[in-house]
Structures are given as structure tokens and as C-alpha cells.
Structure 1
């Protein structure tokens, strides 16, 4: 039996994978594997099944991807999200080599397409996601800033703090202070 891949935009969590599996099952679409942004289908799906899947996914904030550029952009985003948010440590090679290796394209090509379609560079997208992860780690309160800096592969606490302030407008310690103050307020009211 033939295998086909379909690509789905905005799949960024385990919950998305579960929901997509349910939708596929409900529509009688046989699948081998569902991962972030990609589904491996066993056999062919009818136009009606594809249309129904697209409608059902749209209702839950997901979207089928058809054109090659969109699929590639989504793959780039998914690799970055998996690398930053779903792995225990960042790769020890630079991001450009990592993405080229993972996706099988020259980094310059990936970078140009990403910037053309998204309006920001891959590096800016990586920085934004790293800062989101740092915010999450600060809120967990399990690691100090030195440990977070090391885990997120920053050269120093100063580098992390500088990038954090550029993106959020706050220092990491002030961000943590505001969040704690807000939580205390919510608990007491």
C-alpha cells in the first residue's frame, strides 16, 4: 500500500497530535504516523476526506498545507520549536548547520525563503522562541539564571539578559518579579 505525507500548519504540541489522530480516525483515514506538522497516510485519501479534514482542522485552529514553500516554512518552524521547546538540550552545532542537516537544504536557501514569506529572519524566530523558553524556565523557578543561560546555550548571563530585554523590554529578574507579584495578587483576591 502506498504512503503519502500531508502537512499541517500550527501543530506545535502533543495535544495537536492527539487531536489530529482523532480527526483522521473519525474520517476513516488510515495513518502510520502523526508528528508535529506532518502525517504519514497509508493509501490515498479521497478529495472529500481531504476537504472534510481541512474543514475540521480549521475549526480547531490548524490548517492543511499545500504549496511547497509553506510546507518548507512550517518544517523550519517545527524543527526550531522541537529543538528549543521539546528537547532537553540545544544541539552543539550552530542552528544553520542543524537546520540544513535536518531539512536537506542549503541554509541560505532556507533563510531566504523564510524571510521572504515570514518577514523575519530564521535567527529572529529562534531568538523569539529561546526567550519564550527562558520565560517558561523563569516561571518554573527550578533553575537560576546561570543554569538557564547554560541550558539555552547563551555565552553568558549578560548575553541572555541583553537579548531578553531586547525582546520583552524587561530584565529577566524584573520579569520574574512581576509574574510572582501577579500570582500573589491573584491568590489573595
Structure 2
């Protein structure tokens, strides 16, 4: 998601791989689609989180993301049928940035929910997929912390040094900045269909 946002910002400076208003709008629509994936993911997690406080925080975050995603969809539709306007392009980009920040809030809340633990999901393929994804992430996090605790260098007081240690695995990495790649730009103005929960293309 952050890569698409970067490409859209570059478009306003007449740089980057986006070559037309249609591709610019297509990126925004893809962001809306990605936002819906995260909302669905967050709602499923909130339903099965064992900690009520984490569950409520996750629900608030997903509701906020849903609202911003809907707003971005409206702005994108208006942009698609109007002429070239830098002001409208900047408004669209601003909404994209707001959505990205909202998604990051959901993922931070999701990380807290995963650490607190999840209940057993019902026999629903999508909810089972979410549970398996989160359990694997939590396992990776636990293994990382255990490895760092054993292998990290110590200072003269015997305290673990944090400088130079490998970053912990996070759900946030799904939307963090990556090197721009033109293949991430939709060539057709319609968003992809057939998303699965926490699609790897975020």
C-alpha cells in the first residue's frame, strides 16, 4: 500500500511509473480494495480476541478505516469523471494517506490482539485462515524474541544491547515502504477482484 501511495505522490511531480489520470485513479481504487481487506481482517480478529480491551480497540480502528475507505472511494469516483485538476489529485492523495495511517492503526491493534491470544474460530475457512496467519506471526515473534535474548551482545553491566539487533516481525511490514516497482501499478482502472484476507499484495 505504501508503494502505491509513493507512486501517486510521484505522479503529482510528473515522476514515477504512473502515466495517466486513469492509472492514478486505479491506484486509489486499489487502496480502497486493500483497505477493505484490512477491515475484514480486523473484524474477524476482534471477534475472536480473548482480551476485551484489545477487541474494542480493534473494532474502533476498523470502523475508522471503513469510514475513510468509503470516503476515498467517493473521491476516486469523482476524480474519474472530472477533468485534470491538481487540486482534486492532491485531495485524492490526501485521502490515500489518511487510509494508510488508518490501516497502520488497525495492524498495530491487531498485533496487540494476537499477542493477547485468540479463541478457537468456528469451522469457517476464512476465519480459520486469519487464525492460522496470526498464530504463525505470533510464533515467529516469539521465536525471534527468544533468539535475540540468547544471542544478543551484552554491555559491561550484563544488559542486552539493542543497537544492531534484527527488527521484530510485524504485521505493519505488510504496508511499509518498499522500493518502487512499476509492476505494482494497475494498468486497468478497475481494482483487482478475489481478495483473500490479508492479501499479500498490500
TM-score bracket, normalised by the shorter chain, equals under 0.3
TM-score (norm: length of structure 2): 0.26
Higher share of residues assigned strand: 1
Higher relative contact order, structure no. (Cα contacts within 8 Å, ≥ 6 residues apart): 2
